[in-house]
Every structure is written in C-alpha cells, then in structure tokens.
C-alpha cells in the first residue's frame, strides 16, 4: 500500500512539475527578433566592417613585427623612432593630414528669423555626434580647433559645452573629420545625411553645413598634457 502511495505521489510530482514548466513557458515566451530584413542587413554590414578593420589592424601588427625581426639588428633606433611617430599620429598627439570633410555648425535660419534663443550646444548631442562619426569610420576628429584623443572629455562646465576642458565657441564653429580614404569620406557624408543627426541639431536650433570632401585636410595635434596611468618610465638598470 505504501509503495503504491509513493508511486502515486511521484507521478503527481512529475505532472505538477510539467504543468509548472508549461505555465512558465506560456507566461514568459522566448523573446523574438522583430527586426525587419533591412535592419538585419544593416547590422551585418556594420559587423562586416568591424571585422575588416580588425583584420587590417592584425595585418599591420604582423607587418610591424616582421619589420622588427628583419631590421632590428641593423637599425633599431630608426625603427623605434618610426614606430613612435606612427603611434603619436594614431593617438592624436601630432597633426594629421588626410582625406576628410569640414562640417560647420550654424544657428538655424528659422531660429534667427523668429528670434528664438539659441542656447549653447548640449554636450550630449556633441557626444552622440562624435560616437556616430567613429561608427562611420572617422580616423581623426577636431572640434573648434580642439583635437579629440582617447582621453578627451566633452562636458558642461558652468553652462558651457567644453572639449578637453576648453569651451567651444558660439556658433558658427567647424568640426573637421579625417578618414583613411576619399571613398570613406564620401560614404560618411552620405551616412550623415541619411541619419537623424541633422534633425537632432535642428531641434536645438542648429543646422549642419557639410562641405565637399577633400583629399587633404589637416587636423591639429593634441596640445595638452596626456595623463598616463598604469605605466612607469623604464630606467636603465631596472
């Protein structure tokens, strides 16, 4: 009798467990991907671009390693100087010259015509703009004569938007964007026009004037001290 009751209890437990699982699946259905085919294609294109950039950087690193192996014994000082120069340019400490475009931020014509108050450009919008330019494969960015590097900050200080702790001028002011090729610059311009960035600036009573792409655009180098953490100077004898 006890054996029969135990089996009956086990069966009831299994049935209850199955009902609980079924109930949970009904209450919490699996999240479905509701994106359309164009959004998926856009994301795939972006991922393919990132993958291509990563492969390019890997090849550059491999070429640099090969240079060190073949030339280090003959002219190590020259190779080190060349590497330092490349790193300074990539980081943004030195001026950069390459294909690019100049975008001028102006007060919107409607805001001027209707006498609207034109507040300083918000740092949130400027940060979003910079992030979008990086996503569009910008190689170097300069805002109102201030070069952006990895440690640059865009903040509101005493009611004014600052870049590298320096306030940007009242509009109009220029944003210079350099890329690795003229084709990339042209594609970037098309992406800017297709995005909602211009509308976002218009909401804040500004408008973007995008110039024609140029094959040579010079951006200034970063001219402030660079804070270095987790690194110490190597001294002979260490």
Taking only the tens place, the pLDDT of each residue in 112-169 is 888 888 888 999 999 999 999 998 989 999 999 999 988 888 999 988 999 999 999 8
Cβ atoms of residues 177 and 103 within 8 Å: yes
Whether the CA torsion 134, 138, 143, 148 is positive or negative: it is positive
Over range 80-99, report the average pLDDT. Answer: 78
Higher pLDDT, 152 or 92: 152
Q: In what order do the strands lie in the sheet with 154-157?
A: 154-157, 160-163, 166-167
pLDDT at 25 over 50: no
pLDDT at 36 over 70: no
Over range 40-53, report the average pLDDT. Answer: 70
Task: Give the closest residue to 121 by CA, choosing from 210, 201, 209, 208.
Answer: 201
């Amino acid at each position: 009798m006890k054996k029969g009751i135990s089996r009956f209890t086990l069966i009831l437990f299994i049935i209850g467990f199955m009902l609980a699982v079924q109930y949970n699946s009904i209450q919490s259905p699996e999240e479905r991907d509701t994106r359309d085919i164009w959004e998926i294609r856009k994301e795939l294109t972006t991922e393919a671009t990132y993958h291509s950039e990563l492969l390019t950087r890997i090849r550059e690193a491999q070429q640099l390693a090969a240079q060190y192996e073949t030339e280090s014994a003959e002219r190590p000082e020259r190779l080190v100087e060349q590497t330092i120069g490349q790193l300074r340019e990539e980081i943004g400490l030195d001026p950069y010259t390459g294909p690019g475009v100049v975008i001028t931020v102006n007060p919107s014509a409607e805001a001027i015509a209707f006498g609207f108050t034109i507040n300083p450009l918000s740092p949130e919008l400027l940060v979003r703009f910079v992030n979008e330019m990086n996503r569009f494969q910008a190689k170097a960015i300069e805002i109102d004569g201030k070069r952006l590097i990895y440690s640059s900050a865009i903040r509101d200080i005493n009611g004014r938007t600052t870049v590298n702790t320096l306030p940007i001028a009242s509009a109009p002011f220029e944003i210079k964007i350099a890329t690795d090729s003229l084709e990339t610059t042209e594609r970037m311009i098309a992406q800017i026009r297709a995005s909602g960035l211009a509308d976002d600036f218009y909401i804040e009573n500004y408008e973007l004037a995008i110039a024609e792409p140029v094959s040579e655009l010079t951006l200034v180098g970063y001219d402030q001290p660079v804070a270095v953490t987790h690194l110490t100077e190597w001294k002979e004898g260490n």
